[in-house]
Amino acid sequence: MARTFQTVGVVGLGTMGAGIAEVFARAGLQVIGVEVNAEALERGRGNLDRSLDRAVSRGRLSETERDGIFGRTTFTGALDDLRDADLVIEAIPEIMDFKRALFTDLDRVCGPETVLATNTSSLSVTAIAATTSRPGRVIGMHFFNPAPVMKLVEVVHTVVTEEGLAGDVATLARRLGKTPVTVGDRAGFVVNRLLLGYLNHAATLLERGVAAKEDIDAAMKLGAGLPMGPFTLLDLIGLDVSHEVCEVLFQESRDRVHAPAPILRELVTAGLLGRKTGRGFHSYDDVARPAAGAGGKLGVGSVHVLGEGADELSARLSAAGFKQGEAHEADVVIALSSTPVIEHAVLLPHPERLVGLHLVGEDIAEVVSTVLTVPEVARAVGDLVRVLGRTPVPCADRAGFVVEALLYPYLNDAVRMYDAGYASMEDIDTAMRLGCGYPAGPFEMLDAIGLEVVRDGLRALYAEYREPFFAPTPLLDRLVTAGVTGIRDR
Ligand code: 3HC
C-alpha cells in the first residue's frame, strides 16, 4: 500500500533546511524543525520568518496563510521529538561523518516505519543508508536553492531501496508542488554532475585569465539565457558546498575537469563562502558594480570590418556615425568571427588594431583581444558595442571564447551521461530546466544549436586545450556522421 506522509522532520535549518521546512509546511504537512542548539534554532526560525515575510510583502501569501504555516511548524533541539514522524529529511553540512552520525541517531530514535531522507548534494546515499538498520527506507530527496522557488526534486534511490518507496516519495514531491525526477545513486545525481562541472570550468577560465568574472557572468546570462551567471550562482550555492560537490565528482570520475579550481579552495579557506558570508566571487555589501572594462570614451576615428556579416555591421556602424576606412589604415579593425582571430591580425600592417567580435544571441558581443591588441582599441570596440545596444564581453583569443567554451562541454557531458545510462534525455532536460531555471534542457539546446555545430565547436576546443573532456563524445560524433539532426528524435 502506498505510504502517506503527514508529519515531517527537518534536521538542519540553514538556507536549504529552512526552505525545505517552508515547502512542507506550505503544502499542509506538520513540520518539526530540529537544530543542534538554541542559537542555531533561532537562526533557523529567522530564516523561515524572513522568507515568509518576503512572500507576504510581495502579495504572494496572506497573513492568515503565514500564520497557518507557523502553526504547523514546531522548533526543537531534541531529535527524540522526531520519534513519530512519517519522514525525516536531513539538511546538515556536507560532511559524511556528520551525516553518518546523524543517521545512526535517527535510526535509533525514529519508529521502524519512518522514512529517512537526505538532501545531500552529492554524497553517496547508499553509504548513508548503510549506517542504519533500515537501508531500504533511506532515500535521497534533493531540493534546489532557493527551495521554495525551484520546482525540481531529485528522488535518489539506491540498490537496496524498498520497492515502491521512490514512487511514494515522488508522489510526496508532487504534493509539494514540485516535479520529481527519479535517479540512481551516482556522484552528483543528474543536476549537480552537470552543473558543477560547468561552474568549475567557469572558475578555470577565470583563473586562466580568459575573461573577468563579471564578464563571464554577463556572457552566460545574456548570451546563453541562463538565469544567473556562473559566479553569481556559485555564490548562491555556497563555495564550500560547490567545492565539496566537485571533490566528490572528481573522486568518482578522476577527471581533472571536476578537480575543484584552486580559486574555490582559496576562497573557502579565506572564509569567503558566497552570499551567506557576504562575499565570495562577488561582494554583497555593494550591489551594482561596473563590469570590468566598462567605461572609457569612444575614441574611434575610422573602422574597418571583415569576416562573415561584415557588410551588415559596416552599414550599422555607418548609420551610427562611424567613419569607415580600409583595413591597412583604419584605427580599428573588427574581425567578425566565432573562432580565434590572431591569424587575421598577423596579415595586417597594424595587428595591434585588430579586435575579434563574436555576436552571441541578441544581447552580447564577445570582444576578443589577441596578444597583440592594444587595450585602448579593445576598450573602444567595447564602447562601440554598447552603441549597438549590446553588452560587451571582453575576452582572450581562445577557442570558444566564453559562451561556447562553457556551453558546449556542458552539452557534451549531458550526452555522455545519457550514454552511460544516468537518466533519459527527457529527465535530464526536465532536471536542468526545473532545478536551475534554464530556459531549455541540454538536449533541447543541442537540437536548437545543431549537433554538427556543437560537435565542431567541441573539436576546436579539444584542439586548443587538449582536454579529453572536451572531445566530442563518441555518440555525438556518430549521430553527426549518420546525418541525424535531432538528438531527441532518434
Ligand atoms: N526564497 C524564497 N523566494 C525567493 C528567493 C528565496 N531565497 N529568491 C527569490 N525568490 C522568489 C522571489 O520572491 C520571486 O517571486 P515573485 O516573482 O513571486 O515575487 C521569484 O523568486 C523571483 O525572484 P527575483 O525576482 O528576486 O529574482 P530572479 O528573477 O533573479 O530569480 C532565482 C531568482 C529564482 C533564484 C533565479 O535567478 C534562478 O532561477 N536562479 C538559478 C538558481 C539555481 O540554479 N538553483 C540551483 C542551484 S544548485 C542546487 O541548489 C543544488 C545544491 O545541491 C548545490
**Sign of the CA dihedral 381, 227, 185, 487?**
negative
CATH code: domain of residue 90: 3.40.50.720
Are 45 and 126 in a shared domain? yes
Are 172 and 249 in a shared domain? no
User: Which residues are catalytically annotated?
Assistant: 121, 142, 154, 192
The yes-or-no verdict on residue 270 having pLDDT over 60 is yes
Are 29 and 124 in a shared domain? yes
Q: Please write the tens of the pLDDT for every residue from 385-444.
A: 999 999 999 999 999 999 999 999 999 999 999 999 999 999 999 999 999 999 999 999
Q: Report yes or no on 286 lying in a domain.
A: no
Sequential DSSP letters for 116-139: EEE--SSS-HHHHHTTSS-GGGEE
> What gap in Å lies between CA 255 and CA 259, rounded to an integer?
7
For cell 558543477, name the residue.
196
> What is the atom index within ligand 1 of the atom nearest the CA of 142?
53
User: Nearest residue CA, atom 31 of ligand 1?
Assistant: 227
**pLDDT for the residue numbered 69:** 95
Buried b (16+ CB within 10 A) or exposed e, 398-434: bbbbbbbbbbbbbbbbbbbbbeeebbebebbbbbbbb
Domain boundary residue among 396, 418, 452? 396
User: Nearest residue CA, atom 17 of ligand 1?
Assistant: 58
**pLDDT for the residue numbered 226:** 98
The yes-or-no verdict on residue 296 having pLDDT over 90 is no
Establish whether residue 237 lines the binding site of ligand 1, counting it when its CB lies within 6 angstroms of any ligand atom. yes
CATH code: domain of residue 485: 1.10.1040.10
> What is the atom index within ligand 1 of the atom nearest the CA of 435?
46
CA 392 to ligand 1 center in whole angstroms: 26
Are 25 and 162 in a shared domain? yes
Are 128 and 239 in a shared domain? no
- Confidence band of 294 (pLDDT split at 50, 70, 90): very low
Establish whether residue 436 lines the binding site of ligand 1, counting it when its CB lies within 6 angstroms of any ligand atom. yes
Please state the rounded mean pLDDT for residues 117-144. Answer: 97
Q: Report yes or no on 284 lying in a domain.
A: no
User: Nearest residue CA, atom 5 of ligand 1?
Assistant: 146
Establish whether residue 144 lines the binding site of ligand 1, counting it when its CB lies within 6 angstroms of any ligand atom. yes
Domain boundary residue among 396, 421, 444? 396
Establish whether residue 50 lines the binding site of ligand 1, counting it when its CB lies within 6 angstroms of any ligand atom. no
Are 180 and 195 in a shared domain? no
Which residue range(s) make up the domain with 426? 403-489
Are 391 and 433 in a shared domain? no
Q: Please write the tens of the pLDDT for every residue from 196-245.
A: 999 999 999 999 999 999 999 999 999 999 999 999 999 999 999 999 99
CA 442 to ligand 1 center in whole angstroms: 20
Q: Please write the tens of the pLDDT for every residue from 163-192.
A: 999 999 999 999 999 999 999 999 999 999
> What gap in Å lies between CA 184 and CA 174, rounded to an integer?
19
> What is the atom index within ligand 1 of the atom nearest the CA of 236?
47
**pLDDT for the residue numbered 154:** 98
CA distances to 120, 203, 250, 356, 429 from 244, rounded to whole Å, are 11, 15, 10, 37, 24
**Sign of the CA dihedral 384, 385, 391, 392?**
negative
Please state the rounded mean pLDDT for residues 111-130. Answer: 96
**pLDDT for the residue numbered 261:** 95
> What is the atom index within ligand 1 of the atom nearest the CA of 436?
44
- Confidence band of 288 (pLDDT split at 50, 70, 90): very low
Are 24 and 170 in a shared domain? yes
**pLDDT for the residue numbered 19:** 97
Q: Please write the tens of the pLDDT for every residue from 322-364.
A: 899 999 999 999 999 999 999 899 999 999 999 999 999 999 9
Count of domains for the chain: 4
User: Nearest residue CA, atom 22 of ligand 1?
Assistant: 149
**pLDDT for the residue numbered 291:** 42
- Bridge pairing between strands 354-360 and 87-90: unpaired
Please state the rounded mean pLDDT for residues 45-69. Answer: 94
User: Nearest residue CA, atom 27 of ligand 1?
Assistant: 227
**pLDDT for the residue numbered 286:** 56
- Confidence band of 301 (pLDDT split at 50, 70, 90): confident
Establish whether residue 148 lines the binding site of ligand 1, counting it when its CB lies within 6 angstroms of any ligand atom. yes
**pTM: predicted TM-score of the whole model, two decimal places:** 0.92
Establish whether residue 150 lines the binding site of ligand 1, counting it when its CB lies within 6 angstroms of any ligand atom. yes
The yes-or-no verdict on residue 299 having pLDDT over 90 is no
> What is the atom index within ligand 1 of the atom nearest the CA of 245?
54
Establish whether residue 227 lines the binding site of ligand 1, counting it when its CB lies within 6 angstroms of any ligand atom. yes
Q: Please write the tens of the pLDDT for every residue from 443-456.
A: 999 999 999 999 99
What's the mean pLDDT when you consider all of the chain? 94
**pLDDT for the residue numbered 293:** 38
Establish whether residue 121 lines the binding site of ligand 1, counting it when its CB lies within 6 angstroms of any ligand atom. yes
Domain boundary residue among 147, 167, 184? 184
For a mutational test of ligand 1's pocket, the pick from 69, 142, 149, i.e. the residue with the most ligand atoms closer than 8 A to its C-beta, is 149
> What gap in Å lies between CA 240 and CA 264, rounded to an integer?
8
Selection from 279, 276, 255 nearest residue 188 by Cα: 255
Q: Report yes or no on 352 lying in a domain.
A: yes
- Confidence band of 321 (pLDDT split at 50, 70, 90): confident
CA 227 to ligand 1 center in whole angstroms: 9
CA 173 to ligand 1 center in whole angstroms: 19
- Confidence band of 489 (pLDDT split at 50, 70, 90): confident
pLDDT above 90 as % of the chain: 92
CA 436 to ligand 1 center in whole angstroms: 9
Q: Report yes or no on 120 lying in a domain.
A: yes
**pLDDT for the residue numbered 475:** 97
> What is the atom index within ligand 1 of the atom nearest the CA of 242?
54
User: Which residues have C-beta within 8 Å of that of residue 478, sequence separation ≥ 6?
Assistant: none
Q: Report yes or no on 292 lying in a domain.
A: no
Are 151 and 219 in a shared domain? no
Buried b (16+ CB within 10 A) or exposed e, 21-57: bbbbbbbebbbbbbbeeeeebeebbebbeebbeebee
